Structure 1
Amino acid sequence: MVKQERAVRTRKSLIDAAAAVFAEEGYVPSSLATISKRAGVSNGALHFHFENKKALAHAVEEAATDVIHELVRLSGHAGASALQALVDATHGLVGCLLHDIVVRAGFDLSFERPLGTEAGLVRTWHGWVEETLRRAESEGHLAPGVSPDDAAAAIVAATVGFDVLAGDDPQWLAERRIIGFWELLLPGIATADVLVSARPPKRVRDKRTGLIGP
């Protein structure tokens, strides 16, 4: 049991270290030696858990995807509309990008050609946003003529764009940016009778997921 717990801790340390190195140096220039040194483990221990750098990068993406799945599960609240859940989730995503290096690296890795696109975190986020907008459409909350596909593309482009711009200026991930984005977008995509708050939910924030459950 002790050995198993140690292995789990080592694996997590390697994923966290890899995320930090990938975020700082980029996937291609980074080395396994740098990652193992950052994690405080030997190269042999690294190779015991991960066959190569690509396998380690996919592990970072998978860990980030787990966080996003939990984030969207907790978005909204009992009785909330799909649009409100979407707004809440984007606020949570910004919290993740600010505080969770694994999530930030996971999004960065989505654009690395050597990794392929089968597990891209941006695709996961895009899929959920589009699905949620289709639910909003079925609820009768999308304005006439608004396409869930087009709205999803705009929302994903904006949220991912905030992350990219924050590489040079963290203020792009300031809460006011997301509030301003939704205050601009909501009147154009929501029916006039739908009440959706562009502000974050009034709940204690978890530094990893951005939100906590009800």
Structure 2
Amino acid sequence: MAMQERAVRTRKSLIHTAAAVFAEEGYAPSSLTTISKRAGVSNGALHFHFENKKALAQAVEDEAADTVRRLVRPADRAGTSALQALVDATHGLAECLLDDIVVRAGFDLGSERALGPEARLLSAWREWVEETLRRAEAEGQLAPGVSPDDAAAAIVAVTVGFEVLARDDPHWLAERRIAGFWQLLLPGIAAGYGPVRARPAAREGECSRAEEA
């Protein structure tokens, strides 16, 4: 049991260290030697857990995708409208991108196309946004003539764009930026804009709560 626990801790440490190295150096220039040294393990120990750099990057992206799925789960709870769920989740995602190196590296890996067709984080986020907007349409929340697909494309493009811009300036992920985006978008897509807030009800700890869920 002690060996199993140690192996789990080593694997988790390698994933988090790899995420930090990928975020700092980029996927292509980074090396497994750098990652293993920073994690404090031998190259042999790293290869015991991960066959190659791509497998390690896939593990980083998998963990990031799991965090994002846990993040959106509370937004889907009963009693929350679809549009409010979208607002809340984008604020939560911005917080995760600021605070969670694995989530940040996962989005970076997707935008670098490091994993090619196997990348799933960006597609998971896009699919959830699309599904939630279809729910908003079914709930009668979208204004006449608003296409869920078109609205989803705008929301995904902006949220991913904020992440890219924040690599050089984290202020792009500030709450006021995300709220400002929704204040511009909601009047154009929402039928009855008033009940939907541009800011979430709970603005702190969203990423940490997603990790603990």
Using structure 2 for the length normalisation, give the TM-score. 0.94
How far apart are the structure 2 equivalents of 1:119 and 1:101?
Answer: 17
Q: Is the 8 A contact 1:94 1:210 kept in 2?
A: no
Bigger shift: 115-124 or 56-65? Answer: 115-124
* Paired position in structure 1 for 2:110: 110
The aligned residue for residue 65 of structure 1 is: 65
Quote the Cα distance in structure 2 between the aligned partners of 1:174 and 1:83: 20
- Tell me which residue corresponds to 1:140: 140
Matched with 2:11 is 11
Structure 2 residue matching 1:111: 3-state secondary structure: helix
Displacement of 1:186 in angstroms is 0.3
**2:129 alignment partner in structure 1:** 129
Q: Which moved more, 1:29-38 or 1:196-205?
A: 196-205
C-alpha deviation, 1:114, in angstroms:
4.3
Q: In the alignment, what sits opposite 1:96?
A: 96
Q: What is the deviation of 1:132?
A: 0.3
Higher helix share: 2
Aligned length: 213
Q: Which runs of 5+ in 1 are unaligned?
A: none
The answer for the alignment partner of 1:21 in structure 2 is 21
Say whether residues 1:154 and 2:139 are aligned partners: no
Structure 1 length normalisation: TM-score? Answer: 0.94
Deviations 1:80-120 (A, max 9, x none): 11111111000100010000000000001112334212333
Q: Output aligned runs, 1:188-207, within 5 Å.
A: 188-192=188-192, 195-202=195-202, 204-207=204-207
Residues 71 and 210 of structure 2 are in contact (CA less than 8 Å); yes or no, is this contact kept in structure 1?
yes
- Percent identity between matched residues is 73
In the alignment, residue 177 of structure 2 is paired with which amino acid? Answer: R
Q: Distance in 1 between matches of 2:15 and 2:212?
A: 24
Letter in 1 for 2:41: V
The residue number in structure 1 matching 2:181 is 181
For 1:7 and 1:200, how far apart are their aligned partners in 2? 39
Is the contact made by 1:205 and 1:211 (CA closer than 8 Å) also made in structure 2?
Answer: no
The amino acid that maps onto 2:51 is E
